[in-house]
Every structure is written in C-alpha cells, then in structure tokens.
A and B are shown apart, each in its own frame.
Chain A
Amino acid sequence: MKQARFEQQYRPEWQALERQLEQLESLHVSKKNKLTLDTFVTDYRKLCHQLALARERGYSVQLQQFLNNLVLRAHRQLYRYNPSLADRIGTFIASGFPQAVRRQWRWHLVSALAFVLSMALVWVLVQQQPEMIYTVVDEASIANLESMYQPENQADMKNERSGDDDVMMFGHYIQNNIGIAFRTFASGLLLGVGALVVMLFNGSFFGAAAGHLINVGAQEPFFTFVIAHGAPELTAIVLAGGAGLRLGWAIIAPGPWSRLDALRLAARDALPTMYGVFALLLLAAFIEAFWSPRDLAPTIKYSVGAACWGLLYLYLLFGGRDGTRKG
C-alpha cells in the first residue's frame, strides 16, 4: 500500500483518537462535549499496529514521527496513575506505615542507636562537668536555651504568648523540622554518612541541652515542654535517618542487584516510611505549637507525654499485624 492511501484510509481514525486524547488530557470537560471513550483502547492498539506498519514499509520519517508521538500520548493516558486517594491513605495509616517501619527495623535501630548513644554520652559529660557545655554548644545557643526555659523567664513568656504566636510557631516547626527530616533522608544517599551525621549532631545537641538545663535548674520547664511532642518528633527524625541509611547501604552493599537496581528497590522500600515521617512531624508540630506551651501542672504534662510515647510505640510495634504472618 502506498503512503498516500495509507494516510487517507487511517486519517479519520487518527483524528478520532486525537479528539479522545484532548479530552483525556484536559482537566475539565463539559458534560455536553463529552465523548464516550469505549473505543479508546482498541483504537490505541490499532494505532500501535499502524506505527509498526509505517516503520516496516518505510513510509516517510514525518509520518512515522507523527504516529510515534500519537502513540506516546495515548500510552501516557492509558497507563496513567489514577488511585482513589482516601482508601490508600486509610490503609497506609492502619497498616502500611508500621509495617514499613518494622520491615526496616535494622536501619532504624542503627539510626536510633546513633541518636541515643550520642545523646547519653553528651548528657552525662555535661552533667558531670558543667563547663563541657561550652565545648559542645556555642554561646548564643546556650543563651537562647536559657532564656527559653529559665523559670523566671517562663512566667513572662506564658503571659505574653497568644494564639497568633502558636500559629507562627506551628508554621516554623513545619518548615524547619520537616525540612530537616527530608534532608536527612536525602543525605543518607551519600553512602549513609549524611544521615548518620545528622543523627549524631541532633543527639549530641539534645543531650547537651538536657544536661545543661538540669545543671542550671531549669529541668521542669524543659521536660514538661518537650515530653509530649518529643515522641513523634524524635521518632520521626530517627526514622528519616533510618530510611536514609537504607538508601546509602543499597549503594555500599547492593547484594545480588546492580547498584542502580538496589537503589531503586531501596527508594521504593523507604518511601512509605517517609510518608509516615511527614505525618508524624505534622502531628509533632501541632502538639508542639498548641499543647506543649500550655501552662499546666507537671503531672498532667508528664502523663500526657507518657501516653504519647506509649501509644506511638504500641502503634509502630503492633499496628498492622494480622496475626497470620510476620509483619
């Protein structure tokens, strides 16, 4: 068949397919102009066939290009990703996230150990030798810490603090903490070094702050403030570090896969954890901005904080276990 006849014969089909594609590609279509798409899949298969024919018969490059691009557009629409979002979020929270965390418990354990050990070490050092704080933390940060948690300053702060401040701090925690978590995850790709450094740094800083504030007698304002949101926040940072280490390890020791494939698998594996980290940090920011600064009796603060820790770890350890197979 000559090219002209080929074009003449199939051009109406191509035009029909183009109209269907325009509808699929646009976000909104008025009901009146809506085409039925019953034939889209068969039309697409025919088009694939026609492209192959055009190539085999050596029709002009321009025609081949035209058909190739049409196939490409149709392919994009046919294999479009189209999930029902609410369902997926529901199952993710109910089982996907804790399962993903447990599946990678080794990485999270390493990440948690890096955090906890550096914290404990610096905490003990600073409490034993108070002047050690000046080698760990710079003076401006120390002054900042003291002004935030000194009992005499606390009273002023609480009186001045308004709803607007809460919203501002909420924004600050979201922007700052979630940004840190995402960066920690990504820096794990640099052979895991980035994620480990973030864990060690944050662990040391937290240990130093805790030790120093105990030394200056500000432990009650400090611990009543951090205990509740600390549960989701510290856990999320540790999980982001663990997910990052998973990426880095895929490059260091890819096992039976090529490094590229190992990285792909690791990223797919680690992504659910990052969704969870995002959710946990939103929760943490909410608690930190709207609950933690409330001036309540320490017993209430400590019990709510303990409940946060307990519930979170019950959820992570036992959520989504269906009893038939190991999560």
Chain B
Amino acid sequence: MLIDERLEVETPEGAMLSLSVAGPVPRALAYAIDLAIRLVIYGALASVFAALGKAGMGLLLIMAFVLEWFYPTLFEAFRHGQTPGKKAMGLVVVHANGSPLSFNGSLIRNLLRTADAFPLFYLLGFICTLISPRYQRLGDMAANTLVVHIEETPQIQEQAQGDTLAPDWSLSRDDQLALLAFHERHDRFSEARQQELAQLAYPELTPALALQRLNAVSRYLVQGPT
C-alpha cells in the first residue's frame, strides 16, 4: 500500500473511498495465472472432444473461441470483477468511480485487448499503464475502469485494560493519530524498541517509565478517563 497509488473517490453518499490502484506487475502475474488456467481447460476439453471426431473438433474450436474472448468478460462481469488469476493476486476490476464492473464495461476492456497486445506481448498496453496516472491500459481507458488491490481488512482489536492518563499537552490531530497508531502496533515491536520510541515523547523519564506513561496516555485516547 504505497501512498502514491491511492486514489480517492467520492460516492454519491458523500463518503470518500480510498482505492489502491494495481500496477503492471501484479496484473501481468494475474494474466499469467489466467493463461495457465485457460490452457489447462483447453487441454482437458481437447482430450474429451477428441473422442467425438470431427463434430468434437468443431465444439473444441467453439470452446477455444469462448476461452479466448469471453473467459475474462464472463468472470469479471459475474464474479465481482475478478477472474481466477485476479482473485489469486488479490485484484479486482471496478469502474473509475469505484462501482462494480458492468457487463458492458468488461466487454469493452476485453475486446480492446488486441490493441493493448500490439505489437507483441502487451507492449502498447504496458507503455500505457506506465504513462497513465491510474495504471490504465487502452481498454481500461475506453471502458473507464481501474484494476485495484483488494485490501485486507484489519480486525478491530479488543482494547487492552490498564491505567489511563490524560495527556499533559494540548493534543493536535496528528499527535492523536501517531499515538493511536503506536497503541495499535506496539505489540509488534520489541520492548527495547517500544521504550526507545516512548523516549521520543518523554526524554526526561527513564525508558521503562516513559513507555508506561506513553501507554497510559494512548489508552486514555482510546477509552477516555476511567
């Protein structure tokens, strides 16, 4: 989750959604996974239809057509904007306003794949994703779609109990966010590192006391006075 890949979108309800746009590399990997899946399906169908002679050959050609042109469209339109490859990579296709992908949008972006694949190996599409501020290839531009990361939803932690202490300075919003971030993440640091950080706030105290004080203040921010 890099800052410069964030895209803010306003919904009709006035809420700001923040999306994380996906770059060429995860998308290429997702494409590779899809390609492998398609080849496996094609191989399996080929061995089944081979038993049916020429009629089977005809059916196989139809299936090859469907796999080539409609595999991404059908998955994206009916599986919430995800082909299996995109699902594996944690990607999803949405309209630029954050709303879910429609069938038409999916069809436009997938029909125009040929232009993106020009002249070889998606070179034009790759160049376009690098130029475009929202990592769109030509098909995405025409359909006004984005490929975004699905973010892990953090679990809300149960609040730890303990003493609380009101901060002895007037708290700015940034201070509050920094303290809350410390409160949520301090478990991940070693004791020594926590003390080191706490001493930035209370240089006049010993490391252990500074940490105790900082924990009490951050608990106060979450729970209020007890």
Stretch of A125-133, A215-223, A264-272 with 4 or more beta carbons under 8 angstroms from chain B: A264-272
Select A186's contact among B19, B65, B111, beta carbons within 8 Å.
Answer: B111
A163-191 vs B, CB cutoff 8 Å, 1 = contact: the mask equals: 11111111110110011001101110110
Verify if A70 is at the interface (C-beta below 8 Å from B).
yes
CA distance A114 to B42 in the complex (A): 37
Q: Is B201 an interface residue (CB 8 A)?
A: no
Q: Is the CB of B54 within 8 A of A182?
A: no
A48 to B11, Cβ gap below 8 A? yes
CB distance from A141 to the nearest CB of B (A): 21
Name the B residues within 8 Å of A61 (CB-CB).
177, 180-181, 184
Answer yes or no: B163 CB below 8 A from chain A CBs.
no
Inter-subunit contact A75/B18 (CB<8 Å): no
Interface residues contributed by chain A, number (CB under 8 Å): 65
B59 interfacial by beta-carbon distance below 8 Å: yes
Interface residues of A (CB under 8 A from B): 2-5, 7, 11, 25, 44-45, 48, 51-52, 55, 58-63, 65-66, 68-72, 75-77, 79-81, 83, 162-172, 174-175, 178-179, 182-183, 185-187, 189-190, 194, 247, 260, 263-264, 266-268, 271, 274
B193 at interface (Cβ–Cβ under 8 A)? no
Give every chain B residue within 8 A of A52 (Cβ-Cβ): 14-16
For B53, the chain A residues whose CB sits under 8 A away are: 164
Closest Cβ neighbor of A177 among chain B residues? B65
* In the complex, per-residue mask of B4-19: 1 if CB is within 8 Å of any chain A CB, else 0: 0000000101111111
- Bits for B99-125, please: 1 = Cβ < 8 Å to A, else 0: 111111001100111110010000000
In the bound complex, CA of A2 to CA of B166 (Å): 12
Q: Residues on B close to A: CB < 8 A?
A: 11, 13-19, 53-55, 57-62, 64-65, 68-69, 77, 80, 94, 98-104, 107-108, 111-115, 118, 138, 141-144, 151, 153-157, 159, 173, 176-177, 180-181, 183-184, 221-224
Cβ contact within 8 Å between B115 and A165: no
Known: A48-B15, A174-B62, A179-B68. A5 touches B100 (CB 8 A): no
Given the complex, which residues of B lie within 8 Å of A247, measured CB to CB? Answer: 142
Q: Which of A3, A165, A175, A274 contacts B222 (CB 8 A)?
A: A3
When the two chains form their complex, are residues A168 and B58 in contact, meaning their CB atoms are under 8 A apart? yes
Q: A4-B223, A165-B54, A171-B62 are in contact. Are A71 and B183 (CB under 8 A)?
A: no
Give the chain B neighbours of A190 by CB distance below 8 A. 115, 118
Q: Which residues of A contact B141 (CB under 8 A)?
A: 260, 263-264
Instruction: Judge whether B223 and A2 touch: CB under 8 Å.
Output: yes
Residues from chain A with a CB closer than 8 A to the CB of B99 are: 75-76, 79
Provide 6 A-B residue pairs closer than 8 Å at the C-beta atoms, listed in order of the A residue.
A52-B16, A69-B153, A75-B17, A163-B55, A189-B112, A194-B118
Smallest distance from the beta carbon of A85 to chain B beta carbons, Å?
9
**A85 to B, closest residue via Cβ:** B103
Distance in Å: Cβ of B155 to nearest Cβ of chain A: 8
Chain B residues contacting A169 (CB-CB under 8 Å) are 58
7 extra interface residue pairs, beta carbon distance < 8 Å, beyond A81-B100, A179-B65, A182-B114 = A62-B156, A71-B15, A171-B57, A186-B114, A189-B115, A264-B141, A274-B111
From residue B206, how far is it (CB to closest CB) to chain A in Å? 28
Rounded to whole angstroms, the CA-CA distance of A264 and B105 in the bound complex is: 10
* Distance, CA A75 to CA B58, complexed state (A): 43
Given A75-B17, A187-B114, A65–B59 Cβ distance below 8 Å? no
Nearest CB in chain A to that of B97: its residue: A79
**Which chain B residues lie closer than 8 Å to A175 at the CB level?**
61-62, 64-65, 68
B100 touches A79 (CB 8 A): yes
A residues in contact with B102, CB < 8 Å: 81
CB distance from A4 to the nearest CB of B (A): 4
For A172, give its contact among B61, B176, B181, B224 (CB under 8 Å). B61
Which residue in A7, A162, A183 is a CB contact (below 8 Å) of B156?
Answer: A7
- Known A2-B223, A45-B13; judge A168-B55 contact (CB<8 A): yes
